[in-house]
């Protein structure tokens, strides 16, 4: 819940403010906001580290606490640097490369990199903890519950942001905007850190099966990153699923950097109203996650569920595109609700399949690899979404066509993701991964 609340602040508030209110090019904004995702190779290191080294006496929980504390602090610092960058743009009369703007942009990028490392530490080890406390037959239900909380966070984050920014209008001054956004970035990160403690205290000690399952827990030599990479690449199925995961994630999240500007520019929404669009996605996803995890996956299987989700995403982004030509906010809201339904289906199918493609002996390492794939792909998606929007604005005189170009790319990507998914076999993965891990552990003993 806390991590999704933070995503609303960065991708739901900061991107809108920087693109529309501060007049920073969408490509630059998207690139900066994607930096936390491009430092995601650290996820493998954090996952591998948590497999073999405890922090505060825990394999997973200590990393969650430290990571959440750092992301709460760096989020507020990032906002202050954003205002300085906006001031430099205003002083120059518009965006231009200058020593002043370059310095503030560089510092903002650095802080977002640290923010990304904090997310890598907390989210990778938390997902590994989910593997540690679950069995194959109950993972779809666990994913339904946990990712439902993720969507609850989206809804709460969107509503809370809307309330705290409610006094703003589309014509509000920068000073008024700055005061409201600063307050938002103090209150929400503090809530998120409190949630991280409340959610994890006592869970690992009581429910984790990692120590009894793993041969590498608390070993002094551990598994090195080089050997971990050998495990990850031992099965062709790992790379096939990795391909599907990357393509699907890029296609799903290209909408992130453009949704709020889309609402502001095409539908004439205020910052508060465009941020609340996330609530429609969140509600749809929340309903879908619960139904999919408990009813759809057990009945139709994980791969078929993921395939269905890809088809529904392609359909829903087509409706979002069509809504722009009507300029009807209610049509947009309904389309985003359907996008949320599709998001829940593809997310549940993919995550449960991902857990089946995770070797329990080195869960942190595998989860780190999947997290790397997802995060890198999401970073590419954010940059691509912003870049395609800028290209569209250069190609078309009507803004709605520029946004439509983004949505067309999303739909085509989902078609390719289905092709990649059809080549994945869980049975073959389990056979080859087990042999590879046994070989690595034997080499450690030698």
Half-sphere exposure at residue 376, Cβ-oriented, CA atoms within 13 angstroms: 17
**Minimum mean pLDDT among 142-146, 223-227, 292-296, 361-365: which range?**
223-227
Q: Domain limits at 402? A: 2-196+215-445
- CATH number of the domain to which 428 belongs: 1.20.1250.20
Domain membership of residue 209 (yes or no) is no
Mean pLDDT over 329-351 rounds to 90
Domain membership of residue 439 (yes or no) is yes
Mean pLDDT over 227-245 rounds to 70
The widest CA-to-CA distance across the chain, in whole angstroms, is 69
Give the best-scoring range by mean pLDDT among 26-30, 89-93, 105-109, 152-156: 105-109
Bridge partners, residue 58, by sequence:
55
* Number of neighbouring beta carbons within 10 Å of residue 390: 16
Higher pLDDT, 139 or 350: 350
Tell me how far apart the alpha carbons of residues 142 and 350 are, in angstroms, rounded to a whole number: 13
pLDDT tens-digit series, residues 99-110: 888 898 999 999
Give the best-scoring range by mean pLDDT among 120-124, 223-227, 426-430, 432-436: 120-124
Q: What do you get for the CA distance between the two ends of the chain, in Å?
A: 44
Q: Count of residues for the chain? A: 446
pLDDT at 170: 65
Domain membership of residue 206 (yes or no) is no
Considering only CA atoms, which of 2, 377, 295, 261 is closest in space to residue 157?
2
List, as one string, the DSSP characters of 186-242: HHHHHHHHHHHHHHHTTHHHHH--HHHH-SSTT-SS---HHHHHHHHTSSHHHHHHH
pLDDT tens-digit series, residues 45-98: 787 777 777 888 777 888 989 999 999 999 999 999 988 888 887 777 766 777
pLDDT at 418: 92
Q: How confident is the model at residue 335 (pLDDT cuts 50, 70, 90)?
A: very high
pLDDT at 333: 92
Mean pLDDT over 378-405 rounds to 87
Question: How many domains is the chain built from?
Answer: 1
Give the best-scoring range by mean pLDDT among 17-26, 184-193, 261-270: 184-193
Give the best-scoring range by mean pLDDT among 61-65, 159-163, 171-175, 406-410: 406-410
């Amino acid at each position: 819940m806390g991590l999704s609340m933070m995503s609303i602040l960065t991708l739901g508030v900061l991107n809108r403010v920087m693109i529309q209110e501060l007049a920073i090019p969408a490509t630059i904004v998207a690139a900066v906001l994607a930096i936390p995702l491009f430092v995601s190779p650290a996820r493998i290191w954090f996952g591998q580290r948590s497999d073999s080294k405890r922090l505060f006496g825990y394999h997973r929980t200590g990393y969650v606490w430290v990571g959440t504390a750092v992301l709460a602090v760096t989020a507020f610092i990032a906002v202050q640097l954003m205002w300085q960058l906006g001031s430099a743009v205003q002083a120059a009369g518009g965006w231009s490369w200058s020593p002043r703007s370059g310095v503030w942009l560089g510092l903002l990028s650095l802080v977002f990199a640290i923010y990304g490392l904090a997310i890598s530490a907390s989210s990778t080890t938390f997902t590994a903890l989910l593997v540690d406390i679950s069995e194959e037959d109950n993972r779809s239900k666990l994913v339904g519950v946990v990712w439902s909380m993720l969507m609850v966070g989206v809804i709460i984050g969107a509503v809370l942001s809307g309330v705290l920014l409610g006094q703003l209008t589309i014509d509000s001054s920068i000073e008024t905007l700055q005061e409201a956004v600063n307050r938002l970035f103090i209150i929400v990160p503090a809530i998120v850190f409190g949630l991280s403690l409340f959610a994890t205290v006592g869970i690992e000690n009581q429910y984790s099966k990692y120590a009894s399952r793993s041969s590498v827990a608390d070993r002094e030599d551990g598994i090195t990153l080089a050997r971990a990479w050998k495990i990850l690449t031992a099965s062709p199925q790992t790379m096939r699923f990795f391909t599907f995961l990357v393509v699907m994630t890029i296609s799903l999240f290209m909408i992130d950097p453009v949704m709020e500007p889309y609402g502001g520019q095409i539908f004439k929404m205020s910052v508060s109203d465009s941020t609340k669009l996330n609530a429609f996605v969140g509600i749809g996803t929340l309903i879908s996650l619960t139904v999919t995890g408990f009813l759809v996956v057990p009945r139709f299987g994980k791969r078929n569920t993921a395939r269905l989700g890809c088809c529904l995403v392609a359909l829903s982004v087509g409706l979002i595109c069509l809504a722009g030509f009507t300029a009807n906010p209610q049509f947009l809201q309904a389309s985003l609700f359907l996008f949320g339904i599709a998001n829940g289906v593809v997310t549940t199918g993919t995550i449960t399949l991902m857990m089946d493609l995770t070797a329990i002996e080195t869960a942190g390492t595998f989860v780190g690899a999947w997290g790397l794939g997802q995060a890198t792909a999401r970073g590419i998606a954010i940059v691509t979404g912003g870049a395609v929007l800028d290209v569209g604005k250069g190609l078309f005189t009507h803004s709605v066509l520029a946004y439509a170009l983004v949505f067309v790319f999303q739909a085509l990507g989902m078609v390719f993701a289905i092709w990649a998914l059809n080549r994945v076999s869980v049975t073959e993965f389990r056979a080859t991964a087990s042999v590879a891990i046994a070989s690595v552990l034997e080499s450690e003993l030698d």
